[in-house]
């Protein structure tokens, strides 16, 4: 019940502390604003400070809450450890972790891929999510219903030429989350994957420059599973949930 009105509280994430990576644009930004509508308290990370500040303003207009902005490059893995320590001091727990940040790299044959591109894609899409699990798992366990959601892609399970580092990173991410899900089975934490499908973002435009973006769903249109899997009453674990 809402204390102010006595009306039933229909915000399904009311008061839940939610950490979202890659919140500056695209799918991550839509997750943040949707979670705000559901009453969440948000911790938002990305590298682009201005975009995070604009998002904070928008969220304050939605639910009156100020978000905790943590500008960071996820490739600086030690800052992920510092994030966990800082959140423990401030909140003592995290209810929802959304590992959404990702990079595409270059669409090219494996034999032509630059080592620095390979490394960036593996760092952001895979290693940073393992470092997040390592850093945030103790905080998720402090929640009565910790929920971890990681964002994958159909190419993780569909072998296609030229998707090199990106597809490899997402396939490995799905294995990572599957292992984590088995390890937390006896706890209050649940970990799942969402495959968003073709969505109108900067990354999609980079992968398919000739495509008409108006034929794609917007990030706002694919938010239902992101809310469902973040809720305390969602008990699925180790699942790959398609948003399409």
Whichever of 24 and 63 has its CB closer to ligand NAP, that residue is 24
Radius of gyration of the chain (CA): 17
Query: Length of the chain, please?
Result: 244
List Cβ<8 Å contacts ≥24 apart for 50-58: 51/24, 51/25, 52/23, 52/24, 55/23, 55/24, 55/29, 58/33
Q: Which of residues 141-160 bind ligand NAP (CB under 6 A)?
A: 151, 153
Output the smallest distance, CB 180 to ligand NAP, in A. Answer: 17
Cα 224 to Cα 29: distance, rounded to the nearest angstrom: 14
**x-or-dash string of contact with ligand NAP, 179-198, rule CB under 6 A:** -----------------x-x
Q: Which two tokens stand for residue 230?
A: 């973040």
Stretch that binds ligand NAP, among 73-81, 88-96, 111-119, 156-164 (CB under 6 A): 73-81
Stretch that binds ligand NAP, among 58-66, 68-76, 129-137, 174-182 (CB under 6 A): 68-76
Stretch that binds ligand NAP, among 9-17, 35-43, 71-79, 136-144 (CB under 6 A): 71-79
Nearest alpha-carbon partner for 139 in 13, 19, 24: 19
Q: Which of residues 82-101 bind ligand NAP (CB under 6 A)?
A: 100-101
The correct pick among 37, 75, 134, 141 for binding ligand NAP (CB under 6 A) is 75
Place of tokens 């890659």: 22
Helix (H, G, I), strand (E, B) or coil at 21: strand
Q: Which two tokens stand for residue 137?
A: 């798992």
Catalytic annotation present for 234: no
Place of tokens 């604009």: 54
164 binds ligand NAP (CB under 6 A): no
Q: What residues are annotated to the active site?
A: 166
Which residues lie near ligand NAP (CB under 6 A)? 22, 24-28, 46-48, 51, 73-75, 100-103, 124, 151, 153, 196, 198-199, 201-204
């Amino acid at each position: 019940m809402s204390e102010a009105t006595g009306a039933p509280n229909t915000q399904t994430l009311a008061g839940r502390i939610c950490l979202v990576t890659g919140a500056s644009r695209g799918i991550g930004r839509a997750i943040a604003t949707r979670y705000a509508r559901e009453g969440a308290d948000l911790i938002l990370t990305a590298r682009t400070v201005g975009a995070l500040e604009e998002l904070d303003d928008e969220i304050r207009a939605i639910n009156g809450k100020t978000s905790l902005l943590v500008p960071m490059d996820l490739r600086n893995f030690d800052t992920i450890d510092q994030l966990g320590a800082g959140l423990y001091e401030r909140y003592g727990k995290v209810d929802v972790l959304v590992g959404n940040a990702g990079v595409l790299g270059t669409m090219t044959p494996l034999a032509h891929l630059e080592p620095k591109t390979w490394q960036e894609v593996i760092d952001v899409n895979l290693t940073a999510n393992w470092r997040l699990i390592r850093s945030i798992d103790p905080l998720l366990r402090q929640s009565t219903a910790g929920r971890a959601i990681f964002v994958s892609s159909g190419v993780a399970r569909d072998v296609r030429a030229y998707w090199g580092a990106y597809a490899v990173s997402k396939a490995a991410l799905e294995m990572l989350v599957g292992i984590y899900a088995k390890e937390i089975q006896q706890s209050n934490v649940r970990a799942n994957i969402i495959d968003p499908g073709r969505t109108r973002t900067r990354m999609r435009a980079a992968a398919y420059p000739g495509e008409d973006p108006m034929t794609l769903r917007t990030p706002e249109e694919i938010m239902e599973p992101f809310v469902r899997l973040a809720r305390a009453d969602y008990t699925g674990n180790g699942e790959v949930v398609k948003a399409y």
